[in-house]
Amino acid sequence: MTTSILTSFIIIISFIVKRIQADCQNNTLTETTFVYRRVCYFANWAAKRYDNISRLTPEDIDPFLCTHINFAFAKVLESLIIAPYEEDDLKGWTANSKGMYERILKLKETNPDLRVLLSVGGWTHASRGFNEVSKTAANIKNFVKNSVKFLRENKFDGLDLDWEYPGAKDQGAEPHSKTGYTKLVKKLSRVFKREAERTGQEKLLLTCATAAARHRIEAGYEVEEVCKYFDFVSVMTYDYHGSWDGKTGHNSPLYAMRNERKKFREWNINSSMLVWEELGCPKEKLNIGLSAYGRAFSLFGETGMSNGKPVTKKKSSIGIKASAAEAGKYTREAGVLAYYEICELLQNNPSNRVFWHQQMSVPYVSSKTLWIGFDNIRSVTLKMQFLKEHGYGGVIIWSLDLDDKTGTVCNEGPFPIFNAAKRELLILPDHLINKDKKCSDDNITITIEHLHSKMTKIKQSKNSK
């Protein structure tokens, strides 16, 4: 085959595939390139770790792993502007090296359908800047204008608001923050739309990461209203339990346990998503949150004596007195372990066994001294099936660096957690596949993937000749 025939062949294939795809998925999709969103967080500090295991640079990321990448984080300043957190976000350390923004955005050269958003805020950032921004109409207007400029100058595809959280006094939010947040979101949405119309560029996406617990949702969000303006809303359905509880509990249960105390009955994915829905957020705009880490506890001598009686250890060891487990060798934060660190712990110590919690539908590690609530391929797959059954729009995963990027630690292939979510989300439920028989027979629903692999195959066969 000559190069020009090959090129026309590729163009024809991509044209046909796009056509069939558009025809088949017309009524169910707003974007033609995928059905369920896979929104992945990139943590800029992870690129600065020293060892090869925990460091994750933009170049380590498979450009087809996610449909969206959120760059975490940028700051919101009281001067009503967005500013980079790290010195090398905007430009590299030397004259010729690229900044992190540019390096992440470079993934789009390989996957033009990928969208990269800038995420502002985060737990540690809390309400700083956001209070000021949402205080008056003039401040909002100024911030929105500055944001559009910053996003466009740096070639981002959108803004992910990660204010944790409006309405949260314990996180420094001021009383005006709930209504101020709505006004901010409304203005951002309007201006993004108008800017796109004026410039002819693709509209900047407007998204957010939000709370999962009912008391936080009710305190911080006018749900029905804000959901109108966001392109999608990502619920951080993890961190339900951790060392701050002073006792063992799971980081991210899919369902409640039977006989759970009233306060905790809603602290699971199934319930949190329903709260958002019941308060008026359209299902298809909602993303479920997954974590590629677990929360780990160090157990006290719970099998010893208490008041002269032997304490019988509960089978699951859930709800027993515990403190934050020793920090992981790589991530170095007490009480938190990356997925690959959990794999390593399991391999190195046979007394660390994995159990499955039937009611919560998640795995946990339990030994005499250690308890970890985490997610693995099985639980991620079940959570993605849940997502599809309930008609939610997608998933967010925190964060790329916490998965086993090369697959060499866990021996489950590269990015096992992210890929488990991807694999399950590419299998479409029947009701999303067009009734038109022609479409479902073609397996055309994963066209972008197929197209990519077809093109790679053609290129390979060309090279081998």
Q: What residue ranges bind ligand NAG (CB under 6 A)? A: 22-23, 26, 52, 255-256, 270-271, 274, 443
Q: Provide the 3-class DSSP secondary structure of residue 322.
A: strand
Token duo for residue 26: 């017309």
State the DSSP string of 268-302. Answer: SHHHHHHHHHHTT--GGGEEEEEESEEEEEEE--T
* Residues 114/155, Cβ–Cβ less than 8 Å: no
* Residues 118/160, Cβ–Cβ less than 8 Å: yes
Per the listing, tokens 């719970």 go with 302
- Minimum gap (Å) between residue 140 Cβ and ligand NAG: 35
Per the listing, tokens 């056509």 go with 19
* Residues 446/453, Cβ–Cβ less than 8 Å: no
Nearer to ligand NAG, 52 or 201 (CB): 52
Listed in sequence order, the residues at least 6 apart from 431 whose beta carbon sits closer than 8 Å to its beta carbon are: none
- Give helix 447-464 / helix 3-25 axis angle, nearest 10°: 170
Nearer to ligand NAG, 230 or 238 (CB): 238
Nearer to ligand NAG, 12 or 274 (CB): 274
- What is the C-alpha to C-alpha distance for residues 132 and 139, in angstroms, rounded to an integer? 7
Burial class (CB in 10 A: 0-12, 13-18, 19+), 203: middle
Count of residues in the chain: 465
- What is the C-alpha to C-alpha distance for residues 315 and 93, in angstroms, rounded to an integer? 53
* Residues 285/227, Cβ–Cβ less than 8 Å: yes
Nearer to ligand NAG, 3 or 30 (CB): 30
- Minimum gap (Å) between residue 185 Cβ and ligand NAG: 28
- Minimum gap (Å) between residue 394 Cβ and ligand NAG: 20
- Minimum gap (Å) between residue 212 Cβ and ligand NAG: 14
Burial class (CB in 10 A: 0-12, 13-18, 19+), 414: middle
Among the listed residues 132, 164, 260, 424, the single catalytic one is: 164
- What is the C-alpha to C-alpha distance for residues 80 and 175, in angstroms, rounded to an integer? 19
Nearer to ligand NAG, 36 or 150 (CB): 36
- Minimum gap (Å) between residue 53 Cβ and ligand NAG: 8
Residue 164 annotated among the catalytic residues of the structure: yes
Annotated active-site positions, please? 164
